[in-house]
Amino acid sequence: MHVVDLFCGAGGFSEGILQAGFHIVFSSDRSAHVKETYENRHRQLGLVQGDNTHFELADIRDLTGEIIFSRINNLNFFRENHLTEIDAIFGGPPCQGFSIAGRRDRDDPRNTLFREYLRIISEVNPKYVVIENVEGLMSMELNDGFESVSGVVYPDRTRVAEVLESELTHFGYHIEQPRILNASHYGVPQRRTRAIFIASRHDVVPARYPEPTTPELDERVTVFEALGDLGTNMEPSAYAESLRNGRTPHFITRTPVANLNRILNNEKSSHSSVISERFSLFREGESAKNLETRIALNGLNLIDYPNLLNECLFVANKESNRETLRVLLENIAPEFLGENEVDQKRFNKLYRVLWKLYLSEEENFTKLANKTAKEFGISAEDLNVILEDCVNSWNTHMTREQMLDFFLNNQAVTSNPLLMEALLTKKNTRSRLDSQGVAPTMLTLPDDFIHPFEDRILTVREMARIQSFDDSFEFIGKRTTGGDRRRDEVPQYTQVGNAVPPLLAFAIATEIRRALEETNALTGSGTEQNQLI
C-alpha cells in the first residue's frame, strides 16, 4: 500500500502512516532542516533514500505528478515492476494567507500552496486524499480572483472548505463532511484540534473518519503519564512504556524500533534567576491571565522574589535613571550622548550594563567592571565615579520600599500595566502544565509552557512525548532559534510543535487502510508489492 507524504515536516504524520502499515514511497518538504530529521528517522526504520523511498527537497510549486512517479519508479524497489497508482496522498498545505477573522494578505505566497496541492492531487489521481490543517481552515476565505486548478474563478470571500469540496468533486472524488478532530480523543495527552478532510475516489470504498479511542475525560492520557518517568526513577505509565518500546515498525522486520537506554533530545534549558523566579510564580495549571488575576486579588510579596523585584525597579525607574545617567555622562563621557542611531544604541547598551553592575554581587563586581571599562573605552576611575553617582541617585521615581508596597497591596495590576509586564512579560499565552490534565496545544516556541513541577520550559523530548512521538525518534539540528532566523530555520522545537501528533495520524491512516483493504477485497486487486507491507 503505497502513499505520498507532502508538506511532511519532520515526520509527525509520517509516523502515523507507517504505524498503520503503509509504505511511504515519496515525500517532500522545502526545508533542509526537517529533511535531515525526516531522513534520519526513515533510515532508522529501514526506509532508505534511493532504495525504497524518495525524499524530494523542493517547493511544491516545482513538483508535478510526472516528477513524483519518475522518482518513485527510479527506486530500486520499483525498477522491475513500476508503480502506476498511488493509494493515498497525505498533506497539510499552509493557508495562512487567506482571511481569518477578517484579516488576510492577498499577496501572501502561501496562498498558492493550497492550489498547488490540489494540482498535485489532480495529476497523481490517488485513491484517497487526506488534507489536514489548522481548525481555522474551516472559516478561512479566499481572496478575490482565486483561480482554481479546474479553471474556475471563485468570488471573493468563498470559504476554502467549499473550494476543496468543489475541486475534489470535479476531480472525481467523494468528500466526507470535514471534521475537527481533537488529538486527546485518540490517546494523545494534548488538546490539539485539526481540521481533517478525507476524499475517496469514485471507484473505491469511501473512507470514514476514525472513531475516538479515548472519548471520555477519565480515559485521556495525562501530562503526568507522558512525562512522569523522564529523568526520574518512576516506573513509566502504559503510555510512556509504549513510546519507549516504540510504535513505528521497521520496514523490513516489522518490529517497532525501541529506545530503552539513553533518552534523546532531553537537554534542559538554563534559565536566568529572573526567568526562574518568574516561572515559579505560576501554580500548576495556571495561565498568565489567571496568575495576573490572582495577584490583583491577593497581592504579591516581592521580597520573596528579589530578582523580579529588581526587574520591576528597572522598568519603573527606567526613564528617570536614564536621564540621570545622561547628566553624569555630559562631563565624563559625552561621546555616548549623540543623537544618531549608533550612539543611541551604545547609550542603551551602557545603561543595561551599568544596571547589571548596580545589582551585581561583590564577588562578581570587579570582573564585570573591568570588562565594561574595556568594552566601552571608559577608564576605571571614570567608571567608578559614574557608578557611585548611579548608586546615590538612581531609583528615586519608585523606591524599593514603594515597589514592595505597590505589589503587596494589590495595586500593580490596575494601576501600572508596565509593572505587570515587567513581572510576567508580554507573553500572556504562557502557562504551567497541569500534571493531572491534558496539555494545551504544543506550539513552536518553547517558552509558552512551564514544566508542571520544575521552574523551566519543557525539553524537546518532553514536547515530543506530549505529541506522541516514539522515544527512538531523534530530532536533528539546533534546539531553537530567534529573530529573523525563524523565517528560514526550523529548529527542533519548531519541528515538534509543527507536527501532526503521530497517534492522531495513525487513527486517520488506519481508516484509509481499512477502506483500501475493503476496496481490494471487492475488486480482487492488490499487487504483490502491496502485499509486502
- What pLDDT is stored for residue 413 in this prediction? 62
Question: What is the three-class DSSP state of 74?
Answer: coil
Residue with cell 532542516: 33
Active site residues: 95
What does 424-486 look like in DSSP terms, one character per residue? H-S-TT-EE--TTS-B----SSGGGEE-SSSSSBPPHHHHHHHHT--TT----S-S---GGGG
| Sign of the dihedral defined by the CA atoms of residues 511, 516, 519, 520, in that order | negative
d(CA 500, CA 90): 11
Q: What is the mean pLDDT of residues 432-438?
A: 97
Q: Beta 128-134 vs 88-91: how paired, if at all? A: parallel
pLDDT > 90 fraction of the chain, expressed in percent and rounded: 59
Q: Which three cell numbers stand for residue 130?
A: 487526506
Q: Residue 198 pLDDT > 90, yes or no?
A: yes
d(CA 46, CA 42): 6
Q: Residue 128 to residues 2, 35, 210, 457: CA-CA distances in angstroms?
A: 11, 25, 15, 40
Q: What is the mean pLDDT of residues 215-221?
A: 92
Give me the amino acid identity at 348: N
Q: Residue 529 pLDDT > 50, yes or no?
A: no
pLDDT in tens, 490-513: 899 999 999 999 999 999 999 999
Cβ neighbours for 113, distance < 8 A, ≥ 6 positions apart: 7, 60, 61, 93, 94, 95
Q: What is the mean pLDDT of residues 92-105?
A: 59
Least confident range from 82-91, 317-326, 338-347, 483-492: namely 483-492
Q: What is the mean pLDDT of residues 339-354?
A: 88
CATH class of the structural domain 2-244+471-528: alpha beta
532 — pLDDT class (breaks 50, 70, 90): very low
pTM for the complete prediction? 0.89
The size of the chain, in residues, is 533
For the stretch 251-254, contacts whose Cβ atoms lie closer than 8 Å and that sit 24 or more positions apart, written own/partner, are 251/23, 251/45, 251/46, 251/47, 251/52, 251/533, 252/46, 253/46
Q: Which three cell numbers stand for residue 255?
A: 518490529
- What pLDDT is stored for residue 528 in this prediction? 44
Compute CA 401 distance to the chain's CA centroid, rounded to the nearest angstrom.
Answer: 41
Q: Which three cell numbers stand for residue 371?
A: 570588562
- What pLDDT is stored for residue 95 in this prediction? 63
d(CA 12, CA 91): 11
- 127-163 burial: b if 16+ Cβ within 10 Å, else e: bbbbbbbbebbeebbbbeebebbeeeebeeebbbbeb
Q: Residue 307 pLDDT > 70, yes or no?
A: yes
Structural contact between residues 490 and 477, judged by C-beta atoms closer than 8 angstroms: yes
Q: Where are the domains of the chain?
A: 2-244+471-528, 273-307+401-458, 318-394
Question: What is the three-class DSSP state of 129?
Answer: strand
Q: Residue 468 pLDDT > 50, yes or no?
A: yes
pLDDT in tens, 10-29: 999 999 999 999 999 999 99
147 — pLDDT class (breaks 50, 70, 90): confident
Secondary structure (H, E, C), 269-284: CCCCHHHHHHHHCCCC
Closest to 94 measured CA to CA, from 46, 44, 160: 160
Q: What is the mean pLDDT of residues 174-190?
A: 95
Structural contact between residues 177 and 199, judged by C-beta atoms closer than 8 angstroms: no
Q: Which three cell numbers stand for residue 204?
A: 473505491
pLDDT > 70 fraction of the chain, expressed in percent and rounded: 93
Q: Which three cell numbers stand for residue 187?
A: 490517546
Q: Residue 378 pLDDT > 80, yes or no?
A: yes
d(CA 171, CA 150): 8
- 463-501 burial: b if 16+ Cβ within 10 Å, else e: bbbbbbbbbbbbbbbeebbeeeeeeebbbbbbbbbbbbb
Q: Average pLDDT, whole number, for the chain?
A: 89
- What pLDDT is stored for residue 107 in this prediction? 54
